[in-house]
Amino acid sequence: MKIDTSDTPVRACLRFGWTALVMFLLLGLTLEFLHLVKAPWYLDLRIRRELWVLAHAHGALLALLNLAFAATAGACITDARSRALASVMLRWGSGLVPAGFLLGGVGNTESDPSLAIVLTPIGALMVLYAFTVMSTAAWRLR
Amino acid sequence: MPSTLEVDAARRRGAVITLTLLMLAVLPGGVALAERDPFGWAGSDSCRSCHQDHYASWHRTFHRTMTQEATGSSVLGAFDGREVTYWGRTIRPVERDGQFYFEYLDAPGGDVASVAHITRTVGSHRYQQYLSQGSATGDNYIRLHLLWHMGEQRWVHMNGAFLYSDDQGFNDHAATWNHNCIYCHNTGPQPNIVNYEALHRRLAMGERLNFLANARYESQVEELGVACESCHGPGAEHAAQMRNPFKRYWHAFNEDAEVEGIVHPGKLPPERSAQVCGQCHAQRLPIRTNLVETWLKTGPTYRPGDDLLDHVSLISPDTPGTVTKPDIYRLRFWPDGTPRLSAYEYTGLRQTPCFTEGKATCISCHEAHGGSAEGMITEPNRAGASCLNCHQTIAADVSKHTRHPAESEASDCVSCHMPRIVYGVMAIHRSHDIEVPDPVGHAEQDRPDACSSCHLDKSAAWLASTIGEESRPAADAGTPQWLMDLLGGDPVQRAIAAEAAGQDGVALTGAARLWLVPPLLNALADGYPAVRRFSANSLRTLDEQFGTEGPQFGVLLDHYDFIGDAVTRRELGRKLWRRWRDFAAQRRDQPAWIAGAAVNPNLLSELRAQARANAKRIEIGE
């Protein structure tokens, strides 16, 4: 499969995807380190631990999906404006979803994330939009 | 063949239907959760969804396991089929198909005369008691005869757990759970007496009957054991309110805002906060006699946050006893009013200036969700942080205040101000009536003291003379207070003295502790099982500490059973004395106390006469 790297939205998703993979790999290493040193402010706070693991998992997965978008968007979405908008929405969404989880685990209560968690559903809607555009375009392929 | 657009439309409809079904699947669950029981209880599982950390810190406590259904994981006793014979009856604890039974035999090794199916357990910390529910008891739960002692890993007849003499019957402690243990060992207790009116009619017609013995119950509890709502109040309303995320975040940002439908003991005024614990850690009676019916039907009326004293009257030395037992309550206190049984912690605390003037409350030292499960005290508080919060000047020079080395156990605040003078659940506990040691005053009140419980070889007068003196007097001509308590005190004094001898922190070290042995051997002949048990345990501790430098009682003590039959006990007692005399004879080069001179025959008979005069049946009420 040949990727058209001259297409700005595709190139942006490629850069975002690989950079995000590096960042969330580093986050994963950090979480493992916190296990290594048995950091109580991470291990003992159930909500924080869950949210940061979710941030790591979602960040890494969405980074991969950005790469998948870069690889297939050119073939699926023929309209350049739609492709550009989907790319922007996917990148912002891919940033906001893990950011919401990560920041939701800072200043959280015993039962709830901090208010930063609102970033996650906003980001999720943006990602949903991008994937819906991709999905619809894929169904239209002949 | 459908067009692409029609396929797309069908898929969209499918997605909408799927989402709608998902919503419908979620919504009824929410509605069902919002249903209320008439009393507004939610159960600890409801609390767990939001308060998982607090749930986990409660889950490890002995509060949770106070009452449990009898299962393989909750039953701690050895139901291995080995027979246990006490007070002339033999019981065989057995397990069959995951069910637990006490088989009552007609003789040791004989046939099964009756079987009690164990359905619930009470306790999991020091010992575990067993309940049976049967048609013969009108579906009441009855406490059975044997308890399993966790520390000693052995069966003990209930008679050995109380401060009664050997003059007890086999069935004396077969209590009914439904109007007794249910109140404090469960959450949301409702005894639900079913024949209250019928019994009243019979009494009104002049029939002489034991009301409680004839009562029949269909008891319910909101939750077995002491769970979240015992301390925080019924939580169904709170759980429903807090399903609203906006309310949750509002409270997260406004910590001082009152949360509806629930009580945070830490945010209550000190008096009310202590009363949350006091609802159980203070023996009490309904404040009005007409509340007895309410208690027997729907349970106690107090809820956390209320003024406890609007609902109950705390038992005190002045609480009138019954016609047949006029001293029943007075005997639960030392003559100066200090509680001497467990489950009076709040009663004791209320008498202290720390509470009345300093606003100290239970949670000044204890943490329901922190510290070790034993005592629920955090490490800083164990080190005295809760005392030093107010008494800061003492921290600057601890040894000047305590007159003991700062690093020694004697310099712990609780060692002197909360002496171990309280009996309960087969153990000696610290008094919660925080006090200043007064060896002579306390001796005159016939009660032990922090000083005399540690300086076992000193008289009260000598101890008093050292308080306020920079140097100790050279000689002590008086009889050691510990000796007088051990052999001549009342049952609680004797039990406390017997137990004190085995404590690591006592002010006798090395060979000097040999002096304790003859009095303890004398105490093995005490008429109260509890005193004998503490004496034997202290002798075991000392024997281990002495090693080859001591009399090496070894297996003789291992075979000594404080509630075993009297003949065997006497025989073992004689052997232990013989071993001691042989040992003492080899140590003639040592000071005179080795020969047991501390207990000269005249003093011994005098103290024994005192002990006989002090024979009392202390009804623990637990």
Distance from C-alpha of A62 to C-alpha of A52, rounded to nearest angstrom: 15
B453, B502, B505 from B463: Cα distances, Å: 11, 20, 17
Of residues B440, B435, B411, the one with CA closest to residue B421: B435
What is the pLDDT, as a whole number, of residue B473? 53
pLDDT at A69 over 60: yes
Is residue B335 within 8 Å of residue B318, measured between CB atoms? no
Task: Provide CB contacts within 8 A for A124, sequence distance 6+.
Answer: A93, A97
What is the pLDDT, as a whole number, of residue B205? 93
- Cβ–Cβ below 8 Å for B51 and A139: no
Pairing of strands B154-157, B186-190: unpaired
Contact residues on chain A for B52, CB-CB shorter than 8 A = 46, 110-111
Q: b/e per residue, B146-181, with b = 16+ CB within 10 A?
A: bbbbeeeeebbbbbbbbbbbeebebeebebbbbbbb
Per-chain mean pLDDT for chain A: 95
Distance from C-alpha of B158 to C-alpha of B127, rounded to nearest angstrom: 11
Given CA atoms B541, B594, B523, B548 in this order, what sign does their dihedral have?
Answer: positive
Distance from C-alpha of B231 to C-alpha of B263, rounded to nearest angstrom: 8
Contact residues on chain A for B8, CB-CB shorter than 8 A = 139
What is the pLDDT, as a whole number, of residue B478? 79
Task: Provide CB contacts within 8 A for B266, sequence distance 6+.
Answer: B273, B363
What is the pLDDT, as a whole number, of residue B17? 39
Distance from C-alpha of B456 to C-alpha of B348, rounded to nearest angstrom: 25
pLDDT band at B588 (very low <50, low <70, confident <90, very high): low
In the three-class reduction of DSSP (H, G, I as helix; E, B as strand; rest coil), residue B550 is classed as coil
Nearest CA of chain A to the CA of B240: how many Å?
15
Q: Domains of chain B: which residue ranges?
A: 64-214, 265-436, 437-622
CA B361 remoteness from chain centre = 19
Domain count of the fold of chain A? 1
| Domain region containing A21 | 8-140
Cα end-to-end span (Å), chain A? 18
A 112-131 residues with CB below 8 A of B?
Answer: 112, 115
Crossing angle of helices B4-33/A119-140, nearest 10°? 150
Nearest CA of chain B to the CA of A25: how many Å?
29
What is the pLDDT, as a whole number, of residue B260? 78
In this structure, how many other beta carbons lie within 10 angstroms of the beta carbon of residue A101? Answer: 25
Contact residues on chain B for A115, CB-CB shorter than 8 A = 249
What is the pLDDT, as a whole number, of residue B598? 53
Q: What is the mean pLDDT of residues B141-155?
A: 96
- Cβ–Cβ below 8 Å for B8 and A109: no
Q: Quick check: is A110 in a domain? A: yes
Of residues B447, B459, B449, B505, the one with CA closest to residue B483: B459
Is residue B312 within 8 Å of residue B346, measured between CB atoms? no
Nearest CA of chain B to the CA of A41: how many Å?
13
Of residues B516, B549, B547, the one with CA closest to residue B534: B516
Distance from C-alpha of B365 to C-alpha of B386, rounded to nearest angstrom: 6
Is residue B460 within 8 Å of residue B481, measured between CB atoms? yes
Per-chain mean pLDDT for chain B: 87
Distance from C-alpha of B369 to C-alpha of B513, rounded to nearest angstrom: 40
Nearest CA of chain B to the CA of A3: how many Å?
28
Distance from C-alpha of B53 to C-alpha of B408, rounded to nearest angstrom: 36
What is the pLDDT, as a whole number, of residue B476? 63
Token pair for residue A122? 């906003």
Tell me: the pLDDT tens digits for B447-458?
Answer: 998 998 999 988
Q: Give, for B89, the enclosing helix (H) or strand (E).
A: strand B89-96
Nearest CA of chain B to the CA of A30: how many Å?
23
Nearest CA of chain A to the CA of B50: how many Å?
4
Nearest CA of chain A to the CA of B244: how many Å?
12
Token pair for residue B206? 């002049």
What is the pLDDT, as a whole number, of residue B468? 60
Task: List the single residue in B8, B53, B252 with the smallest CB-CB distance to A112.
Answer: B252
Most B CBs within 10 Å, among A43, A45, A48, A112, to test the B interface: A112
Q: What is the mean pLDDT of residues B596-616?
A: 77
Taking CB atoms within 8 Å and a gap of at least 24, the contacts of B33-39 are B33/B239, B33/B240, B33/B243, B34/B240, B34/B243, B36/B236, B36/B237, B36/B240, B37/B222, B37/B236, B39/B188, B39/B222, B39/B234
Instruction: Please indicate whether residue B13 or residue B112 has the higher confidence score (pLDDT).
Output: B112
Distance from C-alpha of B335 to C-alpha of A132, rounded to nearest angstrom: 83
pLDDT at B227 over 60: yes
Tell me: the pLDDT tens digits for B2-26?
Answer: 343 333 444 444 443 333 333 333 3
Q: What is the mean pLDDT of residues B527-549?
A: 95
Task: Provide CB contacts within 8 A for B481, sequence distance 6+.
Answer: B439, B443, B448, B449, B452, B458, B459, B460, B463
Token pair for residue B505? 């922190």
Tell me: the pLDDT tens digits for B365-400?
Answer: 999 999 889 999 999 998 889 999 899 899 888 888
pLDDT at A43 over 70: yes
Q: Quick check: is A3 in a domain? A: no
What is the pLDDT, as a whole number, of residue B204? 92
Contact residues on chain B for A110, CB-CB shorter than 8 A = 50-54
What is the pLDDT, as a whole number, of residue B459? 87
pLDDT at A45 over 60: yes
Most A CBs within 10 Å, among B54, B55, B249, B251, to test the A interface: B249
B153–chain A Cβ distance below 8 A for any pair? no
What is the pLDDT, as a whole number, of residue B585? 83
The reported pTM is 0.85
Could you tell me which chain B residue has the CA closest to the CA of A116?
Answer: B249
- Cβ–Cβ below 8 Å for B53 and A109: no
Q: Calculate Rg over the CA atoms of chain A.
A: 17
Task: List the single residue in B4, B8, B248 with the smallest CB-CB distance to A111.
Answer: B248
What is the pLDDT, as a whole number, of residue B202? 94
Q: Output phi, psi for B314, to 5 deg.
A: -70, 140
Task: Provide CB contacts within 8 A for B403, sequence distance 6+.
Answer: B466, B467
A45–chain B Cβ distance below 8 A for any pair? yes
- Cβ–Cβ below 8 Å for B245 and A112: yes
B244–chain A Cβ distance below 8 A for any pair? no
What is the pLDDT, as a whole number, of residue B257? 79
Which residues, listed in sequence order, are joined to residue B91 by a DSSP beta bridge?
Answer: B84, B104
Of residues A50, A48, A53, A66, the one with CA closest to residue A123: A66
pLDDT band at B296 (very low <50, low <70, confident <90, very high): very high
ipTM surpassing 0.90: no
Nearest CA of chain B to the CA of A135: how many Å?
11
Token pair for residue B500? 């004190």
User: Residue type at B318?
Assistant: D
Task: List the single residue in A109, A110, A139 with the smallest CB-CB distance to B8.
Answer: A139
What is the pLDDT, as a whole number, of residue B145? 95
What is the pLDDT, as a whole number, of residue A1? 64
pLDDT at B581 over 60: yes
Is residue B617 within 8 Å of residue B529, measured between CB atoms? no
Q: Where are the alpha helices (DSSP H) in B34-106?
A: 44-48, 52-59
Could you tell me which chain A residue has the CA closest to the CA of B250?
Answer: A115
Contact residues on chain B for A109, CB-CB shorter than 8 A = 248, 252
Could you tell me which chain A residue has the CA closest to the CA of B54?
Answer: A110
What is the pLDDT, as a whole number, of residue B474? 53
Q: Quick check: is A14 in a domain? A: yes
Tell me: the pLDDT tens digits for B413-445?
Answer: 999 999 999 999 999 999 999 999 988 888 888
B 2-21 residues with CB below 8 A of A?
Answer: 4, 8
Please compute, for residue B178, the number of CA atoms within 13 A of its CA located in the half-sphere on the CB side.
25
Task: Provide CB contacts within 8 A for B443, sequence distance 6+.
Answer: B449, B452, B460, B481, B484
What is the pLDDT, as a whole number, of residue B19? 36
Tell me: the pLDDT tens digits for B324-354?
Answer: 889 999 999 999 999 999 999 999 999 999 9
Token pair for residue B179? 């109007």
pLDDT band at B510 (very low <50, low <70, confident <90, very high): confident
Nearest CA of chain A to the CA of B243: how many Å?
11
pLDDT band at A101 (very low <50, low <70, confident <90, very high): very high
C-alpha triplet B212, B218, B221: angle, nearest 5°: 105
Contact residues on chain B for A111, CB-CB shorter than 8 A = 49-52, 242, 248
Q: Where are the alpha helices (DSSP H) in B467-600?
A: 481-488, 491-500, 517-523, 529-546, 555-559, 566-586
pLDDT band at A80 (very low <50, low <70, confident <90, very high): very high
- Cβ–Cβ below 8 Å for A110 and B4: no
- Cβ–Cβ below 8 Å for B249 and A115: yes
Is residue B566 within 8 Å of residue B572, measured between CB atoms? no
Residue B266 is classified by DSSP as: G
Contact residues on chain A for B252, CB-CB shorter than 8 A = 109, 112
Contact residues on chain B for A51, CB-CB shorter than 8 A = none
What is the pLDDT, as a whole number, of residue B11? 43
> B491: left (phi > 0), else alpha (psi -120 to 50), else beta?
alpha
- Cβ–Cβ below 8 Å for B249 and A45: no
Contact residues on chain B for A45, CB-CB shorter than 8 A = 53
Q: What is the mean pLDDT of residues B297-308?
A: 94
Residue A33 is classified by DSSP as: H
pLDDT band at B472 (very low <50, low <70, confident <90, very high): low
Contact residues on chain B for A46, CB-CB shorter than 8 A = 52-53
C-alpha triplet B320, B325, B330: angle, nearest 5°: 50
